């Protein structure tokens, strides 16, 4: 009974994280127009590091062990360096809906890495539901004419792979280190490598950016880079990496909804139909059995 309650809380936290992440591409699309790729992609980590450092000091958190530090490097490379920079660059030339459908492959990447690193073996039913969800978003992408891969597409696919590994590694580490501690230490580790590129790209013109650009950037720094990860890693630690990762199938469609609300992008009937198919795969997938290995 207690395990069931813990799993439900994990799924709820995962959903909160996904909702927060779903505003990331729309916010990036707005901010990158005024601040550029480096400031938006890496500058968010610098701003987040100030908040994180204060929290770590107030909480008097102990330093991670050498073994934990190695895992944190992987999380840092994906969540703080690779993904923000690659998606920021891609958003300079692609619409949010384009990025949304490609990022829908994240659950498969996360679950795949979870099998290797997290000690979880998803069942055949789990993989079938994952494939159905993936095929749904691929169909959606093809329908919109996104079949041809451009350099920006390759950047997004690379972002999916590196973030999938980061999610899986962070989900495992969160079980022993704590959810917010994982992303907090990952940000601290990355910060020394962010400061110089960010300072070299700061300009006085940025001070004249409109309010919507500053709100978008601060959202990316405070919520997307830190608070959303707290909920996400906490959810995976409580509900299981593979199972909670299924909720990510909702993310592309939430992104499209937010893009329509804030960026005036259109929502078609086909989008709604595909969304229903994807949601159905999430419901089926999260209820399938996941076998835990005796050791990782």
Sign of dihedral through CA atoms 70, 73, 78, 80?
Answer: positive
Token digits for 259? Answer: 């893009």
Confidence at residue 290, expressed as pLDDT on a 0 to 100 scale: 62
- Label residues 199-223 b or e (16+ Cβ within 10 Å = b): eebeeeebeebeeebbebbebbbeb
Report in angstroms the alpha-carbon separations of 103 from 74, 213, 248, 287. Answer: 19, 23, 9, 23
Residue 172: CA count within 13 A, CB half-sphere = 25
Q: Which residue has the tokens 């987040």?
A: 48
10-69 confidence digits (pLDDT tens) = 889 999 999 999 999 999 999 999 999 999 999 999 999 999 999 999 989 999 999 999
User: CB-side exposure of 224: number of CA atoms within 13 Å?
Assistant: 29
Measured between alpha carbons, how far is residue 272 from residues 104, 197, 269 in Å? 15, 41, 5
End-to-end CA distance of the chain: 26
Phi, psi of 147 (to 5 degrees): -65, -35
Q: What single-letter DSSP state applies at residue 178? A: -
Mean pLDDT, residues 88-110 = 82
pLDDT reported for residue 296: 43
pLDDT tens digits along 161-176 = 899 899 888 888 888 8
Angle at 149 between CA 146 and CA 155, to 5 degrees: 110
Q: Is 58 exposed, middle or buried (0-12, 13-18, 19+ CB in 10 A)?
A: exposed
Tell me the residue range of the domain where 73 lies: 2-292
How does residue 145 score in pLDDT terms, banded at 50, 70 and 90? Answer: low
Residue 153 has pLDDT above 50, yes or no: yes
pLDDT at 295: 43
Among residues 20, 148, 161, 151, the alpha carbon closest in space to that of 89 is found at 151
Helical (H) or strand (E) element with 250: none
pLDDT at 41 (0 to 100): 94
The pTM (predicted TM-score) of the whole model is 0.82
CB crowding 15-27: b at 16 or more within 10 Å, else e: bbbbbbbbbbbbb
147 — pLDDT class (breaks 50, 70, 90): low
pLDDT tens-place string over residues 122-144: 778 878 887 887 788 777 767 76
Span 199-249, pLDDT tens digits: 999 998 898 999 999 999 999 999 999 999 888 888 888 888 767 877 877
Residue 177 has pLDDT above 50, yes or no: yes
Of 73-77, 213-217, 268-272, which range is least confident?
A: 268-272
Q: How far apart are CA 133 and CA 139, in angstroms?
A: 10
Q: Which two tokens stand for residue 260?
A: 């329509």
pLDDT at 1 over 60: no
Give the count of domains, the chain. Answer: 1
Please state, in angstroms and rounded to a whole number, the distance separating the CA atoms of residues 38 and 88: 8
């Amino acid at each position: 009974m207690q395990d069931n309650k813990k799993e439900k809380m994990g799924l709820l936290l995962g959903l909160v994280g996904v909702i927060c992440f779903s505003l990331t591409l729309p916010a990036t699309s707005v901010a990158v127009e005024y601040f550029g790729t480096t400031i938006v992609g890496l500058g968010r980590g610098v701003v987040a590091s100030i908040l994180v450092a204060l929290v770590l000091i107030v909480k008097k958190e102990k330093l991670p062990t050498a073994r934990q530090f190695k895992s944190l490097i992987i999380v840092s490379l994906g969540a703080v360096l690779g993904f923000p920079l690659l998606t920021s660059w891609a958003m300079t030339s692609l619409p949010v809906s384009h990025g949304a459908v490609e990022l829908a492959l994240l659950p498969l990447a996360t679950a795949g890495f979870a099998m290797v690193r997290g000690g979880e073996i998803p069942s055949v039913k789990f993989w079938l539901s994952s494939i159905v969800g993936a095929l749904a978003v691929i169909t959606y992408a093809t329908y919109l004419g996104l079949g041809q891969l451009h350099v920006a597409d390759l950047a997004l696919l690379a972002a999916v792979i590196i973030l999938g590994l980061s999610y899986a590694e962070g989900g495992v580490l969160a079980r022993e280190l704590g959810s917010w501690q994982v992303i907090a230490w990952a940000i601290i580790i990355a910060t020394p490598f962010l400061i110089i590129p960010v300072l070299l790209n700061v300009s006085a013109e940025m001070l004249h950016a409109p309010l919507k650009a500053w709100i978008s950037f601060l959202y990316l720094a405070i919520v997307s880079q830190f608070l959303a990860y707290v909920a996400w890693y906490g959810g995976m630690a409580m509900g299981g990496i593979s199972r909670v990762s299924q909720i990510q199938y909702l993310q592309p469609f939430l992104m499209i909804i937010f893009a329509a609300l804030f960026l005036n992008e259109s929502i078609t009937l086909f989008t709604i139909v595909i969304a229903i198919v994807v949601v159905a795969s999430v419901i089926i997938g999260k209820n399938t059995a996941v076998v835990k290995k005796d050791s990782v």
